[in-house]
Amino acid sequence: MSVNEILLAAGGALIMAFFSMVGGLWFAGIDRVLAARMQARIGPPVRQPFLDIAKLMIKQNVVPANAIPWLFNGAPVVALASAVTILLYIPMAGIPGLPILQGHGDLVLIMYLLILPALAMVAGGLAAGSPYATIGAQREMVTMIAYELPLAATIIAFAWKFASLGIEHPFSLATVAAQPVWTLVGPVGFMGLLLLLVTMLLVVPGELGRIPFDAPEAETEIAGGLLVEYSGRNLALFTLSLAVKTIVVTSLIVGLFFPWNLTDILAVACCATTAAMINLAFFILKLLVVMFFSVTLVRISVARFRINQVVDVYWKILGVLALLGMFLVMADALF
């Protein structure tokens, strides 16, 4: 790789990091406004998450006396960096040059990278030296293990379908984007994909630690859990990592289930720049729709689950639905 290519990749990574942080905070503001309207409240302005981050950035970092300082301070940085790294592997809106690390990773790598921000939060919680943070870290580990089953079943179903048709690189998101899986299945496979879509939509709040799967924080039970001892810039970095992860997980669902571009659907002929802008706007709209159904609507409709209920939901209900969806996709070729 030449120096120019390295500089372009680094510049692209910085742009993606800025886009994901701004987009994630904007999505958080929209989520709060929509939730307030659905509950007949006025709610905060859309810009409130930006104001919160700005305030945290100028506040002092407080490190507990019993904490492990280097791990306590390093965990938020690792969480944000790993969340941004995932976004470098996910296609976005058919824009040329994206993803930046195209061809260097696949769905299996993305699934493993999704664990890193959660592990960073666990490490930070354990390093805080607080019993509340320790309980939150334990709950985060249990939640993370629980939602891996439906996530893995979904990825296996997609890869198996592409591999069974002899398509190269079945684990690649570029392959999914080029050949939407809905066009490759019959009625049985279609039903399986619907089950997998519902499952993935309910994996999102677990990945983001949102209600009803926010047992690791649970302010009314363990006073904030993982983040109870965090303040100032460290808390801001963790908040930004969750904002970026919102873009990551919604982009993953869009990339798997809704990879179409608006210019292709409408058969619009225009210059490359205009097409990229249209497709980007359509991509952001798809992300907002996914966020509404997977985060806003769910947290308004359901109260917080206990940690044992989180495991029951992900393994006994969503795990079974994901496995059933996977088997239906596999069995589709028999009908």
Query: Got the DSSP string for 44-89?
Result: --TTHHHHHHHHHHTSPP---TTS-HHHHHHHHHHHHHHHHHHHTT
Kindly tell me if the per-residue pLDDT of 207 is higher than 80: yes
Average pLDDT (262-284) is 75
- What confidence tier does 53 reach under pLDDT thresholds 50, 70, 90? very high
Residues 171 and 159: beta-carbon distance below 8 Å: yes
* Per-residue pLDDT, 267: 67
pLDDT tens per residue across span 225-250: 778 888 888 889 988 998 999 998 99
Cα 63 to Cα 277: distance, rounded to the nearest angstrom: 44
Rounded to two decimals, what is the model's pTM? 0.88
Start-to-end CA span in the chain (Å) = 48
Among 299, 131, 281, smallest CA distance to 202 is for 299
For the chain, how many residues are written?
A: 335
| Structure confidence at residue 103 as a pLDDT band (50, 70, 90) | low
Interatomic CA distance for residues 298 and 285, integer angstroms: 19
- Residue ranges of domains in the chain: 3-334
Closest-CA residue to 85 (of 56, 54, 57, 115): 115
- pLDDT at position 335: 64
Highest mean pLDDT among 17-26, 61-70, 85-94: 17-26
Per-residue pLDDT, averaged over 15-28, amounts to 87
Of 205, 203, 207, 183, nearest to 195 (Cα)?
A: 203
Number of neighbouring beta carbons within 10 Å of residue 209: 23
Q: Pick the range with the lowest mean pLDDT from 37-41, 269-273, 319-323.
A: 269-273
- Which pLDDT band, with edges at 50, 70 and 90, does 43 fall under? confident
- Asked if pLDDT for residue 166 goes beyond 90, the answer is no
Using alpha carbons, list the distances in angstroms from residue 94 to 173, 250, 285, 289, 296. Answer: 12, 16, 14, 19, 27
The pLDDT assigned to 168 comes to 81
**Alpha-carbon torsion angle 305, 308, 310, 315, nearest 10:** -150
Closest CA to 79 of 239, 311, 266: 239
pLDDT tens digits, residue range 125-149? 888 878 888 888 888 888 888 888 8
Work out the pLDDT band at 98, boundaries 50, 70, 90. Answer: low
- Name the residue with higher pLDDT: 225 or 111: 111
Contact 257, 200 (CB under 8 A): yes
**What integer pLDDT is reported at residue 97 of this predicted model?**
58
Residue 87 has pLDDT above 80, yes or no: yes
Q: In sequence order, which residues have a C-beta less than 8 Å from that of residue 217 and are 6 or more positions away?
A: 136, 209, 224, 225, 226, 227
